[in-house]
Structures are given as C-alpha cells and as structure tokens.
Chain A
Amino acid sequence: SQQGEEDPQALSIQEGENATMNCSYKTSINNLQWYRQNSGRGLVHLILIRSNEREKHSGRLRVTLDTSKKSSSLLITASRAADTASYFCATDPIDTGRRALTFGSGTRLQVQP
C-alpha cells in the first residue's frame, strides 16, 4: 500500500503562476522528501523536511509539514515551463522496521508557456 498520496493527481497552470501539491501519509515519520521526475528519466531529490520541522525553503520551493494532520505541501513559486514534471513525496516511516522510503503515486505538473 502507498504510504503517501499526492493531491491533485494532475495540475495544469500557466507560466508565472504558483503550483501547490499536497501529500498525505498514514503513519508517523522520521522525515518526508519530495522528488521530481522528468518524463522518461529517473527521480531527482528536491528537498527533505524532518519531522520536527514545519517549513523549509530551497530556491523557488517551499515545503510545509504538519505532523498532526500527517500532511505536507510543496509550493513552486513563479513556475516555468521547465518545471513540467511529475512530483513525488516519499516518507521514512518510523515503525515499519524497513529502512527504506515509501513513495506516493505522484502529481503530474504541466506548466504552459
């Protein structure tokens, strides 16, 4: 079963607009990460937020984490056509005994020029 579920499944915006993607998860976590995947390529790490952090920034990316709601959001500001990709959240669950990340099903972002 998927630990993380992204919402929406697909998002289409105009260049310059902001894009917000959400991730919900089921069990307590050590950290949550966001990855990007361009079509036909491997995943690339974007940002990691630990369970004791509430917000983190990296360039045009802003990630929030609400452990009480078991949810996270990824905000991409001033989007560009080059941001077109799929975005995945991944969690490091505390109590599975498995030392590996669990990925959600992703949000496909299309940025129109």
Chain B
Amino acid sequence: NAGVTQTPKFQVLKTGQSMTLQCAQDMNHNSMYWYRQDPGMGLRLIYYSASEGTTDKGEVPNGYNVSRLNKREFSLRLESAAPSQTSVYFCASTGLHTGELFFGEGSRLTVL
C-alpha cells in the first residue's frame, strides 16, 4: 500500500520555466491538498480539493494552478516559476474533511 506518492522528488528550474508536480493516493480518499513548507514557517496551504471535481484556493495560491484529474490524482502546476517558489511541496489526502492527513514524502523544488 503506497499511500500518497509525489513526483518528482527533486527539481531545479530556471525562472520563467513551467512544471507540474504530480500526486496520487491509493486510499480512496475524497479530499486532497497541496502545502508548501518553508524554513521557520511551517506548512501553508496552496490549494485543496474537497472532493473530485472541486478545487479551492488556500492561503497562498498566487502563481499556482491545480487539477483534480480524478479521485486518485491531484496535480500542482507552476506556469512561470519564480525564485520565491523555491520550497518543499507536500501533497496530502484524507477520507474525512479535516480528519487525519496522510502526507507524501515531499517534492523539493529550487528555482534559480
């Protein structure tokens, strides 16, 4: 049972490049989330999807877009990467709204 799987684990981009972070969960969870983690700031919510077919903005959505492709998959896209988007990105899922979250191992993104 893989849980929450994120790809890629590491990525280096140049300013202005685009990329998509992929997330998939195999626990049949309804809700999925994207957080970013920066030193000393904990986790901040970027976007979430409470159920298949819905997406909502979180605390820091600017510069990002998301797609809930199906119940399993929730992707995060950076259309034009900026150095301020250098961070560790975590995908999480839960079967109950705001119940226990299951996290992926993170995607470490550096924007030069």
Contact = CB atoms under 8 A, between A and B. Distances in A.
A42 B106 contact: yes
Interface residues of B, number: 27
Interface string A55-79: 0000000000000000000000000
Contact of A100 (B58, B102, B106): B58
B58 to A, nearest CB: 6
A31 B98 CA distance: 8
A96 to B, nearest CB: 10
A99 B101 contact: no
A45 B102 contact: yes
Given A41-B105, A98-B56, A99-B31, A105 B40 contact: yes
A45 B104 contact: no
A24 to B, nearest CB: 13
Contacts of A41: 105-106
Contacts of B48: 98-100
A30 B40 contact: no
Contact of B101 (A2, A4, A101, A105): A101
Interface of B: 4, 31, 33, 35, 40-45, 48, 50, 56, 58-59, 90, 92, 97-106
Interface of A: 2, 4, 30-31, 33, 35, 40-45, 48, 88, 90, 92, 98-106
